Structure 1
Amino acid sequence: MALAFPGTEEKPHFEKPSFRYRDRIFATYHTRDGRAMLRLTPVEQSVYVSYNSAVFYPVPGAWGTKGYTMVDISKVRKDIFKEALTAAYNGVAAKPKKKE
């Protein structure tokens, strides 16, 4: 689903597949436990967590306070996951690429 977004590439991030736009990660897939991590804004995160905290929950620690959100793939509806994944992609794609 993530690879359907324009300009998205899949690259390894430690032992996990990551999905990137202009080399910025917007999602990772944790294959061992069937979870995904989405890079949301804190506001977007609060919306999804309030929708269902058994499905969406902040990444433990400081990253979670910045909007990074775990998603239980086995429990999430496909349409809701696609909506959250789209928000993560749009958040990264909307930012201009940093000059090198």
Structure 2
Amino acid sequence: MATFATLEKISLSFPEVTIEPHFEKISFRVKKKIFATYNEKNNKAVVKLSEADQDAFSSSSLNIYPVDNKWGKQGWTIIELEKVNQELLSDILKTAYCEVAPKKLVELIGTNEKYKKTTR
């Protein structure tokens, strides 16, 4: 199942991603926008998805679900890392990255074999 190392490796494989602190968590950002955070205390990640993507991923696993407040209604979604496989995590992270990244960076992922292989 997925670990922080997996989350970090996949997230950093996307163009222009940085890691920065975010309160008591670690955040993964593109152009200063957060697309994922990691909470070491509970080994969970939270990602930014569209409502449609949140519904799709949440319906695929009981271990992926909206944050239980107004943030969840904005697409913020919890992932229980120890209970999801690497392939699913990779798909979710790519989707979250594409949700917040500028269009020109998203296009790089779509046309570059490096990112296709990394995230599949």
C-alpha separation in 1, matches of 2:63 and 2:103 = 27
Q: What's the counterpart of residue 47 of structure 2?
A: 38
> Which residue is equivalent to 1:78?
86
Count of residue pairs brought into register by the alignment: 95
User: Residue 11 of structure 1 is aligned with which of 20, 29, 37?
Assistant: 20
* Corresponding letter in the other structure for 2:26: P
Larger relative contact order (CA 8 Å, sep ≥ 6): 2
**Letter paired with 2:90:** K
Gaps of 5+ in 2: 1-9, 105-120
For 2:69, the equivalent position in structure 1 comes to 61
Gaps of 5+ in 1: none
Work out which of the residue numbers 98, 102, 107 in structure 2 matches 1:94.
102
RMSD, matched Cα:
1.2
Counterpart Cα distance in 1 of 2:12 and 2:41: 20
TM-score, normalised with respect to structure 2: 0.76
Per the TM alignment, residue 3 of structure 1 is displaced from its structure 2 partner at its CA by: 1.1
Distance apart, 1:94 and its partner CA: 3.4
SS at match of 1:79: helix
Report the AA paired with residue 13 of structure 1: H
| TM-score, normalising length: structure 1 | 0.91
Aligned position for 2:110:
none
Higher-strand-fraction structure: 1
- Which digits, 9 at most, give the CA deviation of each residue in 1:45-73, with x for residues without a partner? 00011101x21010110010111100000
> How far apart, CA to CA, are the structure 2 residues paired with 1:95 and 1:62?
26
Q: Percent identity at matched positions?
A: 37
